[in-house]
Amino acid sequence: MPFLTGSQNTTINGGNLVDQSTNNISVTNGQTGIDILLEASNRNAAHDSAAREYDPRCHPGTREQHIEDIVYWAVPASGADVPLPLFWMKGLAGVGKSAIAQTCAERLKELGKLGATFFFSLNGREKAAEFIPTIVYQLSTKFPDYRDLVDQRIRHDKAIFDKIMDTQFEVLIVEPFQELERAGKGIGKRIAIIVDGLDECDSADAQCKIIEIIAATARNGTTPFCWAFFSRPEPHIDSSFTRPDVAQFTCTTLLPISNDTDSDIELYLRDGFLNILRRRNIPTNSPWPSGNDIQALVKASNGLFIYAATALRVVGDAGSLEEALRAVCATSSNLTGNSPFPGLDAFYMVIMQRIPPDVLPNILRLCRLLCSDGSYAGGHQIGVILYSNELGLSEIEFRAVCNHLSAVLHIRDHSDSFDSTQFGDTHRPFKHANTATIEELRTHIVSKLGGSIYFYHKSFFDFLCDPTRSGPFCVASSPMRNTYYKHCLEVLVKYEKSYSFRGSGEV
């Protein structure tokens, strides 16, 4: 240790050794406050997390006005009126909110005006308890003076993350930045924080609480941040943002399902098909697809980018490009029902109807498993090998089954090696690790078993859970629940037969 350099005949009895020679972060019992903060946060929720590599962003040349409006809201021109501190973009599933949020985050980062991001998702990023720790951790990586204060406060109260969100926000965000401001070390004004998919947070009460906490700091001007929220217009969220004491501080915009986006969707489709041709080593001056095909897809998209994105995946993954394109274009003539997304539902029905009969039972079991308990039970948290065991399939058989849903389902392989040092002091017995560390370790290992699996977009989850939309493919119906229950019993009996129990006197 540097502070003992040159010492002789030194005896230290008891106490904790704190080495602050390299920075202002104190190490107590092998763990800093920032270490505790990292354990409580969700590393996959940031806009540049590797776990979000395949999540949507705006195609170049599309959504430009919306992106420009939000960036200008966060970074107004010199001398212009200061915009309201809160921004809420609302819109139905599939209209492109997350893509806009992602692109805005990247633009603001380039401008040096991005403080933090949290992208909620049912793919393992839905826990409200992780929201404030994640925001605090990201801010701590950008502002060193703030990082020191946060480290001290967490070491002083290691149970801070067991307290209500109001207390966490006050102790770890409001008070430290006020202290920095008084000391002349403020970070400036209008540092943007982006929160996407608020409606996918794990409870309606938590969603309203987050809005309430942020609105309070906007009213009182207690932090240097402006906050942009992106979500579906769920009634409780709409009610929270339209309260008089919140609405007066909020700039609200609707991202509608509109044919006004047809030109953007057409550009997105044309560039997507060019990429498919390049991957297949087909000359890009090929007459395929025709202009009529493109227009049919634009019409069927009906303003939904998720339709166009799914169509490109269906065609791009198919053995026969022309056959797949014909099937996709045919969905525009099969629109039925009262769904708000008739084109998308017809498309999803085609995907399910094209699954071979001998594969369909396993597909439905997998979808039921992913949608169980009203959430993607797996996402980034349960590995492919555990899923395949649950279905009674080998990993090869399981991946073959998943190939039939490649347009809506993604398997993310994990190439990074396991590093146990990130979970605490490896020189201490594992039994001394706290509950949060053990849970994170379990989740980390489990997510590495064969990769992780999740739906590309929540609209497919909604489709599968609504019998009026998915009909015989609904995984929330009573017959499907009974079928899945019987399957689980069969798997349990099968595995039970492989166990060998010995008497107490045997070795």
pLDDT in tens, 62-101: 999 999 999 999 999 888 889 999 999 999 888 889 999 9
507 found inside a domain: no
Tokens standing for residue 56:
């949507």
Identify whether residues 82 and 131 lie together within a single domain: yes
Judge residue 187's burial from the number of C-beta atoms within 10 Å of its C-beta, 0-12 exposed, 13-18 middle, 19 or more buried: middle
Cis before 361? omega within 30:
no
Residue 5 within any structural domain of the chain: no
Domain tally, the chain: 3
What is the C-alpha separation between 332 and 344, in angstroms, rounded?
9
In a domain, 157, yes or no: no
**DSSP letter string, 115-137:** EEEEE-BTTTB--GGGHHHHHHH
The answer to whether residues 238 and 97 belong to one domain is: yes
User: Taking a C-beta distance cutoff of 8 angstroms, is the pair 287, 242 a contact?
Assistant: no
The mean per-residue pLDDT over the stretch 340-344 comes to 74
Structure confidence at residue 208 (pLDDT): 96
Instruction: Calculate the average pLDDT of the chain.
Output: 82
Residue 32 lies in a domain: no
What is the SS3 assignment for 229?
strand
pTM of the model: 0.73
When pLDDT is cut at 50, 70 and 90, the band that residue 426 belongs to is: very low
Give the span between the Cα atoms of 273 and 311, in whole angstroms: 10
Condensed to tens digits (0 to 9), the pLDDT of residues 6-55 reads 555 555 555 544 444 444 555 555 689 999 999 999 999 999 998 887 77
Instruction: State whether 392 and 460 are in the same domain.
Output: yes
The answer to whether the CB of 28 falls within 8 A of the CB of 155 is yes
**pLDDT given at position 246:** 96
Mean pLDDT of 167-193: 95
DSSP assignment of 386-418 = HHHHHHT--HHHHHHHHHTTTTTEEEE---SPP
Looking at the structure, do residues 265 and 337 belong to the same domain, yes or no?
A: yes
Q: How far is CA 152 from CA 41, 422, 499, in A?
A: 17, 20, 51
User: Poorest-confidence range of 28-42, 332-346, 424-438, 453-467?
Assistant: 424-438
Separation CA 78–CA 165 (nearest Å): 35
Q: How confident is the model at residue 110 (pLDDT cuts 50, 70, 90)?
A: very high
Residue 461 resides in a domain: yes
Among 227, 256, 285, the domain boundary falls at 256
Q: Which residue has the higher pLDDT, 298 or 25?
A: 298
Domain co-membership, 54 together with 95 = yes
Note whether residue 75 is domain-resident.
yes
- Sorted by sequence, the CB contacts under 8 Å of residue 181 that are 6+ apart come out as 224
Identify whether residues 130 and 210 lie together within a single domain: yes
Residue 302 has pLDDT above 90, yes or no: no
Same domain, yes or no, for 96 and 235?
yes
Percent of the chain with pLDDT over 90: 44
Task: Report whether pLDDT(501) > 70.
Answer: no
What's the pLDDT score for residue 337?
52
Q: Mark whether 297 and 239 lie in a shared domain.
A: no
Range of the structural domain that residue 213 is part of: 42-141+186-256
Select from 233, 201, 229, 207 the least CA-distant residue to 84: 229
